[in-house]
Amino acid sequence: MNSKRLEAFFEFLIFAILIGITEDLIAIKLATGEPITPRIVGIIVLIAVPFAIVGEIIAYKIDFVKLSRNFLKKDK
């Protein structure tokens, strides 16, 4: 893996972690009405980080453009 790809991977990973934490905070606030405490943020971070890592690894390894083209060719 070259340095540019690694840099892009980590940029998307950080973005995915931030988005995951944000959406979980919003969901908890809207669904439960509980106040957001440091404990809740800590739990959310513990949950969001592994999912972001797995999501980025899957997105990094799979060529979705190629898959969609193959899928569309099968339909025709």
The answer, yes or no, to whether residue 18 has pLDDT greater than 90, is: yes
- Do 21 and 48 meet the contact criterion of CB atoms below 8 Å apart? yes
Of 12-21, 23-32, 60-69, the range with the lowest mean pLDDT is 60-69
pTM recorded for the entire structure:
0.70
- pLDDT exceeds 80 at position 39: yes
Residue 68: the pLDDT is: 78
Angle between helices 38-61 and 3-32 (to 10 degrees): 140
Which DSSP symbol is given to 37?
A: -
